[in-house]
Amino acid sequence: MADTPVSEIAGIVEQARESFASRKTLDVAFRKKQLQACIRMVSENEDKLKEALKADLGATEFWASVVELDTVKVELKEMINHIDEWTKPESKSTPLLNLPAKSFIQYQPFGVVLSISPWNYPVSLCLVPLMTAIAAGNVVVAKPSEISVHTSRLLAELVPQYIDNGVVKFVLGGVEVSQALLKHRFDFLHYTGGTQVGKIVYKAAAEYLTPVLLELGGKSPTFVTSKANIKKACQRIAWGKWTMNMGQTCISPDYVLVHKDVEKEFLDTMKQTIIDFYGDPKTSTDISRMISQRHLERVAQMLQDPTMEIVVGGDVDAEDKYISPTLACASQNSRCMQEEIFGPILPVISVSSTEEAINFVLAGEKPLSLYVFSEDSKEVNQVLTNTSSGGACVNDTVMHCGNPELPFGGVGESGIGAYHGREGFKTFSHKRSVLQKFGDDVPIRFPPYTKSKLGWLNFIRGLPLESIVGGMKYSALIGLLAVAVYLGKRYVRIEM
């Protein structure tokens, strides 16, 4: 498929608005049908999708099948199984003075959503937020990455064959297309990618006060304390760093802060782990490739830094877009520590205490993820209590992202908002607060406000809501208020 002409973008946005105005996405059964169709699309086109992922990223069978395609199916099945529950009004307690009434939150679609997805997980990070927005009743204009060109064009070709053409519109192209899209008013903006572009998207959203979901990145640290199980730590860090797309993951372990007492053991064990996992990494079927020559050159230049000592790896084959899994001793001033690596280099920095490691992390921006390896619960709590990150894993890496019950998102420069599962549904929904009144008002509500009336109003307003409502029916609450008013008339001489 060809890139979308910039001249056609205004018409595409207008078509999306007309589609939402038809109100067909308000029907939950219609939304379910789209979710089911997307699962069918992935299942019926697995080979094509794997071929596209292979062409773009040298995707391995495990990564393409389990991480990319299965993730879409799991997330969408979660939505299908729970969407009836999620779309129901969420009941809330009602204060005594508001009775007789009921209070609830109504989850409504925002309208037309612009979803800009990245190249590193071009299937799941395109389809999951896109379909979450549809599950919430929105219409989506989807802009996949121009860098993962094979996968993006395949999705743009397949999606209209399965999903209602009115609820998702694909737009293909590079920077000029993204810029043209951001000039239009949307009801919600979703962007996954780098922090610098995220700021541009946020600025465009601010022009129209548009709410956003920004899933960005940053340098996700890994703590390895003196009380860690080193073998398990090395296996799980290596898996999260190299098996998962060769470090081209927004929540990849970016660097390791290892206690000096176990530094040598960690380095020796990690070297052996690389051999055990990949043998000769270049011929391993579990190692993917860099996305492009430009990204390869950026990471390869970090390997030339004299402040960094390569322990293992450091091999580059530009023609094959290959950089070997690289373990290196680094310092705070090393080039690889000045930006998110987004590649297969794993810098290791020695620290003398957990407190020193915490201060090291606090000196930088808040990361998207944080990992801590320790068998000491007090040490783990010390790290979790004194740091901030979008998400975290204890004695593992990356796996928190695979739990649809956990919201996934950043904080500070690593992002705004979160999604996955029910939290994703909530993110792509406007939460409208509703109070529905019944019957008559209590007599002390309206003026004139005598001293006695004000006394009763202050007394009732001061009662804890939980102690009043705790399982009581409205009739009982009304009875309680009636007794209060009666007693006030009889003994306090309320002037009504």
DSSP string, 385-442: HH---SEEEESSSSGGGG-TTS-EE--GGGEE-EESHHHHHHHTEEEEEEEEE-SPPP
Distant-in-sequence contacts of 261-269, Cβ < 8 A, 24+ apart: 261/226, 262/224, 262/225, 262/226, 262/228, 262/230, 263/348, 263/350, 265/230, 266/224, 266/230, 266/233, 266/234, 266/348, 267/311, 267/327, 267/329, 267/348, 269/230, 269/231, 269/234
Q: How far is CA 75 from CA 39, 81, 128, 462, in A?
A: 10, 10, 7, 44
CA dihedral 83, 86, 87, 89 (to 10 degrees): 160
What is the distance between the alpha carbons of residues 363 and 388, in angstroms, rounded to a whole number? 12
- φ, ψ dihedrals at 486, nearest 5°: -60, -45
What is the distance between the alpha carbons of residues 59 and 328, in angstroms, rounded to a whole number? 25
Q: Strand, coil or helix: what is 109?
A: strand
Q: Is residue 250 annotated as a catalytic residue, yes or no?
A: yes
Give yes or no for a cis peptide into 306 (omega within 30° of 0): no
Q: Which of 68, 75, 78, 215 is catalytic?
A: 215
Q: Is residue 38 annotated as a catalytic residue, yes or no?
A: no
Alpha helices in 208-353 (DSSP H): 230-238, 263-278, 293-302
Q: Which of 38, 126, 234, 250 is catalytic?
A: 250
**Active-site amino acid positions:** 215, 250
